[in-house]
Chains A and B, each alone.
Chain A
Amino acid sequence: MEQLVGNTNLTLVDSQVEIYELHDTQELNITTTEQTKSELVIRLVENTNVNCRIALAPYSELHILFDNETKQANINVVADVKRGASIRLGMYELSESTVKEQVLVNLLDQEAKAKVISTSISSTSKDFDIECIHHAPNTSSDMNNFEISDAGANYTLRACGTIKKGAVGSKSHQMSRILTTSENQISKATPVLLIDENDVMASHANSMGKMDDQHLYYLTSRGMDEKQAKELLTLSYLLPISEVFDNEDIRSDYINKVRSRVGL
């Protein structure tokens, strides 16, 4: 694990797999080079405000996860994705912080792709604003958001897919699932599609509510007690974050992290 201190510019090389710890960094610029693939974990340890600008060179691939461990954070990520490049961007927010996270992905050229996954457990105020803008034809985006709102949560999500004029053949999909575990919480989700072109595909799905009694019945009818069944159902909201990575070590590290978080 490498520690980053002060404002930093990172240029990634092929097959780079790295975990960075951010301390007082406020400006972080990440650049990929053409036809490379890299995977990064950015762990926020004591920052409160981080602006991250990511530039994906043509035909490069970046898998990047922001893992917040601070008490209060304001994270702002802007990614520009060039021709044929693809980004998998994860926002992992299981801290007890008050956070505001903004993600903007610009799909600038043909065949640019983005997958954004956010996973959060809230018992404080958490605000997510995630947007993928299709500027060019045949670009695709997929946003998956998972939230568990515990007592005291004030969770807000705005997920927006924007297809600009001229971005024919583009695909913008989003799915958000919010599990509420208490009556004493507020959760709001606003799925948005702004489409200014024909011949495109777009969809949004959003579910919000407590655990399904029939799901619990099915699991308990196989012998798990209610606590175990609830843990397994909770896990289903958290495990997708591991899909950000191809690297087996990091992937299993996050699988283990979420498992231990729900007590499995």
Chain B
Amino acid sequence: MAKLIIKDLHVGINEKEILKGVNLEVDSHEIHAIMGPNGQGKSTLLSAIMGDPKFTITKGSISFDGKDVLAMSVDERSRMGIFLGMQYPAEIPGVNNSDFMRAAMNARLEKPISLFKFIKEMEGAIEDLGLSSEMAHRNLNEGFSGGEKKRNEIVQMKLLKPNLAMLDEIDSGLDVDALQIVANAVYDLFNSQELSLLIVSHYERFLDLIKPTHVHVLLDGKIQETGGYELIKKIDSEGYDWVYDKYGVEKPAIQTRMSLDACGAKK
């Protein structure tokens, strides 16, 4: 049974430390939600697990299914079953969505998938996510709306069948109906195979539909608070002030906006 174990993880970007010692264990078939104010390192954590070259790991370890994740290249991590549904998926001009997906699926198969089987699976996944069939022939994420990009991430997740799926604010940019469709697709996949979920979201509505088994609050680069579903309700009604107070973390100052009369357009 694949288990994710993160120990004392420190991650930085451009010499700025963002994660300052994250410890986390995600067992098989658990759903973990990571919450927290903006800019505290939630996306950085998921990106570091996937291997985004923008970030530098300065200390700590990540293992999945007993293997050292940090020693693996990004593609090796993917092929061992780690998937990241990205907050801002790259727009890649000229790369056709279906060519890309077929290459991604073939990368984890000994024998290439037959064209017939691939088309059937891709069309099925696209339909399940309520997208138009022409999505398969468009360039990867190019000109997609925010909601289409997020749904296309879930299409990929369905086709690649990961064991650990990380979803980074996959609910932002989705309307209420699309949110339901995405949540159903994620939840169906969770129930149909061995899958753990690590979800970053700000919204109670999405988490209500996904029903996390564990909830964590990431603040100042560390997981400060861990609990169950009740934590989501508390954050939804009270915000994060109490977490700042409880762990003695200084709340970032709210930057005041420059007013127009300060722009030098007087006289």
Q: Closest approach, in angstroms, between the C-beta of A232 and any C-beta of chain B? A: 6
- Is A236 on the interface with B (CB-CB < 8 A)? yes
B14-53 vs A: 1/0 string, CB under 8 Å?
A: 0000000000000000000000000000000000001111
Q: How far apart sit A151 and B51, CA to CA, in the bound complex (Å)?
A: 30
- Shortest CB distance B93–A (Å): 6
Residues of A within 8 A of B119 (CB): none
- In the complex, are the beta carbons of A223 and B94 less than 8 A apart? no
A186 CB–B CB distance under 8 Å: no
Q: Report chain B residues within 8 Å CB of A233.
A: 92, 94-95
CB distance from B42 to the nearest CB of A (A): 18
CB distance A240 to B94 under 8 Å? yes
The contact of A213 among B53, B92, B93, by CB within 8 Å, is B53
Binding-face segment, B1-9, B57-65, B97-105: B97-105
CB-CB < 8 A to A218: which residues of B?
86, 89-90, 92
B53 lies within 8 A of A221 (CB): no
Contact A224–B94 (Cβ < 8 Å): no
Q: How far is the CB of B198 from chain A (nearest CB, A)?
A: 15
Which has the most chain A C-beta neighbours within 10 Å: B50, B89, B96, B103? B103
- Which of A177, A214, A224, A228 touches B93 (beta carbons < 8 Å)? A177
> Which of B78, B96, B99, B105 sits near A221, CB closer than 8 Å?
B78
Q: Are B103 and A228 in contact (CB under 8 A)?
A: yes
User: Is the CB of B79 closer than 8 A to any CB of chain A?
Assistant: yes
Give Cα A236–Cα B91 distance, bound, in whole angstroms. 13
Which of the residues B54, B73, B75, B95 comes within 8 Å of A232, measured between beta carbons? B95
Select one of B92, B93, B107 contacting A223, CB under 8 A.
B107
> Which residues of B have CB within 8 Å of A213?
53-54
| Chain B residues with CB below 8 A from A264, complex form | 103
- Once the chains bind, are B160 and A222 in contact (CB under 8 Å)? yes
Name the interface residues of A192-234: CB closer than 8 Å to any CB of B. 212-215, 217-226, 228-229, 232-233
Let me know if A219 and B100 touch, CB within 8 A. yes
Other-chain contact of A236, B84, B93, B103 (Cβ < 8 Å): B93
Q: Which residues of A contact B108 (CB under 8 A)?
A: 223
Q: Which of A177, A212, A213, A217 has the most CB of B within 10 A?
A: A217
Whether B92 contacts A215 by the Cβ 8 Å rule is yes
With both chains docked as a complex, state the minimum distance between the C-beta of A244 and any C-beta of chain B, in angstroms. Answer: 16
Inter-chain CA distance A233–B90, complex, in Å, is 13
Q: Are A228 and B107 in contact (CB under 8 A)?
A: yes
Q: Is A237 an interface residue (CB 8 A)?
A: yes
**CB pair B160 A236 closer than 8 Å:** no
**Interface size band for B:** 20 to 34
> Would you call A28 an interface residue if the criterion is a C-beta within 8 Å of the partner chain's C-beta atoms?
no
- CB of B75 within 8 A of CB of A225, answer yes
A4 CB within 8 Å of chain B: no
| Interface: B74 (CB within 8 A) | yes
Contact B53 A237 (CB under 8 A): no
Q: Tell me the smallest distance from the CB of B186 to a CB of chain A, in Å.
A: 17
Interchain CB contact under 8 A, A217 and B103:
no
| Complex Cα gap A220–B51 (Å) | 10
Given A228-B107, A232-B100, A221-B95 contact (CB < 8 Å): no
Asked whether B92 lies within 8 Å of A226 as measured between CB atoms, the reply is no
| B196 contacts partner chain A, Cβ-Cβ < 8 Å | no
Closest Cβ of chain B to A55, distance in Å, is 33
Distance, CA A233 to CA B139, complexed state (A): 12
A223 to chain B, nearest CB (A): 4
Q: Kindly state whether residue A94 has any CB partner on chain B within 8 Å.
A: no
Contact A223:B90 (CB < 8 A) given known A217-B52, A232-B95, A233-B95: no
Asked whether any CB of chain B lies closer than 8 Å to the CB of A41, the reply is no
Determine if B156 is an interface residue (Cβ-Cβ < 8 Å): yes
Known: A222-B104, A224-B107, A232-B103. A217 touches B74 (CB 8 A): yes
* Contact indicator B84/A225 (Cβ below 8 Å): no
A236 and B92: CB pair below 8 A?
yes
- In the complex, chain A residues 164-203 whose Cβ is within 8 Å of any chain B Cβ: 177
Interface residues in chain A, defined as those with a beta carbon under 8 Å from any beta carbon in chain B: 177, 212-215, 217-226, 228-229, 232-233, 235-237, 239-240, 264
Binding site for A on B (CB under 8 A): 50-54, 73-75, 77-79, 83-84, 86, 89-90, 92-96, 99-101, 103-105, 107-108, 139, 156, 160
Listed by A's residue number, 6 A-B pairs whose Cβ atoms lie within 8 Å are: A220-B74, A221-B78, A221-B84, A223-B104, A226-B73, A226-B75
- A-B pairs, top 5 by smallest CB distance, nearest first, are A236-B94, A222-B104, A223-B107, A218-B90, A223-B78
Q: Known pairs A220-B78, A225-B75, A239-B94; list 9 more (Cβ under 8 Å).
A: A217-B51, A217-B74, A221-B83, A223-B78, A226-B73, A228-B103, A233-B92, A233-B94, A236-B139
